Each structure stands twice: as C-alpha cells, then as structure tokens.
A and B are shown apart, each in its own frame.
Chain A
C-alpha cells in the first residue's frame, strides 16, 4: 500500500492491491507502549497490570474506572481505539470440587473488551476483574460501569453479557435480556448454572 494508514481510510474504490507486509507502520503501537500511555495518564491504581504471557496481551483496569479509560482509549490521538470488536464476560469457576484445587485460578468474573483502531491499526484487550457475586451474596449480580456512551455497540453486547453471564452494567440505558425470554431465571454462561426442569409447561432435559 503506497499511502499512509491515515489516508488509506480516504475512500478510493480502485487502488493498488495492498501487500500485506506493509500494513505494520510506524504508528502501530505495541501493547507495552499502549500500557505505558495508559499508566502515565491513569496511574498504577487504575491500570493494574499488563499480561503478555497468556496469548493475546491484556491490560487489567480497575472496574470503577473502565468508562473513563475506555473514553480515553477512543479519544486520545496516540491510541484512537474507535472500534469495539467484542465485549464479553467469562466466568472463572471450576464447578468440580476435585479439580478446583488444580484449576489455577480463584473463582471470579472477567469482562473482556477487545479494542482496535481503524486509523492506527493496533489492537489491545482490556479486562476488568469482578467478584462472582456482589458482596459475596449469591444472587446479587456484580456491577461495572457501562461503556455505552463510548461505543454504541456496547449497548447490545452489554445486554448480552447481562443476559448470559449475569453482570449488571451501571449506567446502561436499557439493561434487559436480549437473547433469552424476559422471564427466564438465571444466567446460562455461569459455570454453576442449573438447567431449568420446566419452562411454561415445556419439559427441560
């Protein structure tokens, strides 16, 4: 591609085919550099750590501050993460008590934000780590601020995460179930979810 990444977004229907090797340009930031930019702006308390050893590199963010961090990621000229690729929840729990000791993690929930930038062509993963239940009371959903105001697509992704994983997104304009019926009980992607035996006269199992 003969043009810089910024101008490549300018619309041209017919242009030279892009050799793939030339995509990485000088504006492309490594995860470590992105982490440094975030650390410098928000400090150690909010940007907790960078993990590069387990596949895709990810940055742990303090749950209460995720909206500000997300907005900074989108608006900062060095980062420009305009695209939220994916938002999902992961339940870290080993339901089998015999395997729990060897599982290698404490029971917790993670909300994962996969971000990328169309202009600068870099990606990063943000994570917030939550308790499985708020105040350790089973049934009380953990809470995290919503990022709907930053990326519009988060509205649907957060509804899905609320529906299937059971996380309350504070500040979401319309947090209701999206895939399951409104009167469904429980959140199926929790590892300790029990399948209902009956739903409106329809036998389960």
Chain B
C-alpha cells in the first residue's frame, strides 16, 4: 500500500529520488554570516544537516590570555557585533566580580539604559533579517530605520556605531552627554528642526515615544501576517527537554516554554542592576497566538523577541526617569594593570541572543590565565541538526533564522 502524506505542501513525496548533498553557505545570505550547512536531501525533504562553523574564528580566547581585561573589551565587541554593549557588560561584570569592584548606582542605571537600548537594536535586526529569510523585504527597512537612531544615540555616548567598548570595568568610559544635536533620523521622523539641541536622555525618551506605537506596525507586517504564520507556525518545534539538554538560552529557551531570564534569575551582581525595575519575562505559550502555533516553534521564538522589545522599552522608561537622581558617578576608578587575584569566576548575563558566559581565571598578574567566552549562539546552533531533520529545504532558512545566530559570537 503506498504511503500517503496528508500535508498538502509536500508534493510528489512518494517519488523516490537519489540522496543529494547540498552545501548551503558559507556565502549564503540566509545563513546569517559565514555558516555552512551540509544538507543531505531527498528531493525536497532534508534528511540530515551538519553545521560547519569556524570560518570567522579568531581565537579571541588566546588573545584574551595575552591582554589585560580592559584591553580585551574591544575584542568582546567583535563577538556579538549586533549587541556589542551587552558583550562589554558581560565581561566587565565577570572581571568586577573577580576583583570585588562595587559599581555605584549611577553607573548601574547607565548600564541598564545602554544594555536595553542595544537589546532593542539587536532584536530589530533579528526581526528584519528574519523577514528577509522568509522573503519579505519591507520589515528589514523599517527595522534599520529605527536601529539607525539607536546607533546615532550610541555614537553620541562613545563615538562608535558598532564596536563601542563603552561599558568598561568599573562603569562606563564617559557619562551620558548633557547636550547633543538631535539625531538626523529622529528629527525627520518626529518633525523637529535638525538644529534642535537636547539632552541625551531627552533624545532617548523622544525616540521611545516615537518607537513604541511602531511595534504594533511590525506585528501587522510580520507577526499576524498569514503568510508569515504559515511559514513559521509548527515549523522547527523545539521541545523543552531538548532545549535544556542542548543548553539553549535566551529567546530560544523561552520560546520552548521555560521561564528563565538571567535579568531576574541570574547572579546577584547582575540581577541587582535590574531588581528595582518592573518588567515581565515573555515566555511561550501566548494567549493571543494564532491557533496553528505550537510551543517551541519558530513563531514562538520570534514572538518572544518582539515581546522583549516591549519589556525593554518599559525598563528604559523607568531607568531614564531615575537616572538624573541617582547617586555616585558613572565610573569607579580601575587601574589598567591591576593584578587579577588567583581566583576564578564564571558569570552569565542575558544578552539578546541568550546567556553569554565569561569565565576568567586570575594568576596574580595583570593578564588572566584563562579568558573563556561561552557563546549563547554556539549552543543555540547545536540544535539545528535536530530541528531540521525531515523538514523541507525551504524551511531550513526559516528554522536557522528563528534561532537568530551571529557567527562572530559562535566562532569567536
């Protein structure tokens, strides 16, 4: 009796074809960088996927063993280059914990503002490029329009637009500027004069006021779009046991229904930054999800990121209101060549892509014995083989895109 497949998308399923090996990448646009996936296909169906990584490997950990912690901060920027501030923060906190540095309230609030803004920027790119993976171009343009303003704001704080090295050991290199020229994109979008001068915090508030209603537009464009739902709902379902066993973190873990956010559940040196803020952790399942959605599928992972943007806006509003009245300075002094004691610290922080861990071992010298960066995308990518087994070739970019990987962080 012939095998019948109910799924109408699978045409000619019972036509036997030869097994074919297809190289997807390392220059394929929807592999998000230099990732190479070796697909073993049978017609339209993928039987096995082998990810090959390492094309962007720079052995940052070896470099870290030959530099002082402050000197290594620019290298952390280049790991997850879409969220450089969060990388700086993770490494700085790990070294601060090793050295026992207490950061004043003002520096902590500044770090919250900067880290959450970068989280929004990173999730915007994730949203835009995920649209590209699925064949729609316009969300990408909107996402980059918004991100541009955030990058302009970051440029005012530290002069850089991508690799910031702004958050450093002991706080941040500079305080937030008292007066800036309004970012050109923001002036155009809000109808202000391009010569308007205002404080950095006011510019950030102005951006949030303009940005918050736009989130609904992205939902209309992507999240509730019936083509988008058909491409993502029920595709790449990651069960919670598999997510835990594969060490998935961040939106991938929360998309599988595990209520875990290091901003709330992490190490005290990290959670004390967030403990006075009122925010929720977005976890699947969602009450307002379309009926086709299954917990742990690509749609859930995408939606967790969208909900996190809303929560980041909430945190930012509270932090911006609080910042002018905070105590202390933006930075406590840290000697550039301070000796690292013979101790070891492992610290994870909640980066946009998941839990980024830094392990630092001191040897009574200015340079560490070991500087290890545990990448969150590395662990998230390791489930690709499990998720892509038995899907259609066209669903592979939809699954890999929903994991939101950055190769700079995986290869380090």
List residues of A whose CB falls within 8 A of some B CB: 8-15, 17-21, 23, 54-56, 58, 82-86, 88, 90-92, 103-104, 112, 114, 118, 121, 125, 151-153, 155-156, 164, 177-181, 188-189, 191, 193
What are the 9 tightest A-B residue pairs by CB atom distance, in nearest-first order? Answer: A153-B247, A55-B343, A179-B54, A20-B275, A86-B374, A152-B245, A11-B257, A55-B344, A179-B57
Task: Give Cα distance in the complex from A58 to B361, angstroms.
Answer: 13
Is B47 in contact with chain A by the CB < 8 A criterion?
no
Fill in one digit per residue for B382-412: 1 if any A CB lies within 8 Å of its CB, else 0: 1000000000000000000000000000011
Q: Are B369 and A92 in contact (CB under 8 A)?
A: yes
Residues of chain B lying within 8 A (CB to CB) of residue A112: 346, 359
B174 within 8 A of A: no
Contact with A along B203-216 (1 / 0, CB 8 A): 00000000000000
Among A15, A56, A103, A193, contact of B363 (Cβ-Cβ < 8 Å): A103
B-chain residues with CB within 8 Å of residue A84 when the two chains form the complex? 247
Closest to A23 in B: B265
Assembled-state Cα–Cα distance A82/B246 (Å) = 10
Instruction: Give the residue name and chain of the A residue nearest to B248 (CB).
Output: A153
What chain A residues lie within 8 Å of B265 (beta carbons)? 18, 23, 121
User: A82: which B residues are within 8 A, CB to CB?
Assistant: 244-245
Contact yes or no, A153 B246, CB < 8 A: yes
Closest to A121 in B: B265
The answer to whether B275 touches A19, judged by C-beta atoms less than 8 angstroms apart, is: yes
Q: Is B13 an interface residue (CB 8 A)?
A: no
Q: Is B284 an interface residue (CB 8 A)?
A: yes
Whether, in the assembled complex, B323 has its beta carbon less than 8 Å from a beta carbon of chain A, the answer is: no
Q: Quick check: A17 and B374 within 8 Å, CB to CB?
A: no
The size bracket of the interface on B is 35 or more
A125: shortest Cβ distance to chain B, in Å? Answer: 7
The answer to whether A56 and B344 touch across the interface, beta carbons within 8 angstroms, is yes
B14 within 8 A of A: no
A154 to chain B, nearest CB (A): 9
Specify which of A9, A83, A164 is in contact with B59 (CB 8 Å cutoff).
A164
| Contact across chains for B357 and A9 when beta carbons are under 8 A apart | no
In the complex formed, the residue of A with least CB distance to B280 is: A17
CA–CA, A125 to B363, complex, Å?
19
**B259 contact from A11, A83, A92, A103, Cβ within 8 A:** A11
Complex Cα distance, B282 from A112, in Å, reads 32
Indicate if the CB atoms of A21 and B275 lie closer than 8 Å.
yes
The one of A54, A164, A181, A189 that contacts B343, using a Cβ cutoff of 8 Å: A54
Closest Cβ–Cβ distance, residue B410 to chain A (whole Å): 9
Contact partner, B361, options A13, A17, A90, A179, Cβ 8 Å = A90
Chain A residues within 8 Å of B382, by CB = 152-153, 155-156
State whether the Cβ of B348 lies closer than 8 Å to any Cβ in chain A.
yes
Are A18 and B264 in touch, CB under 8 angstroms?
yes
CB distance from A174 to the nearest CB of B (A): 10
CA distance A135 to B320 in the complex (A): 60
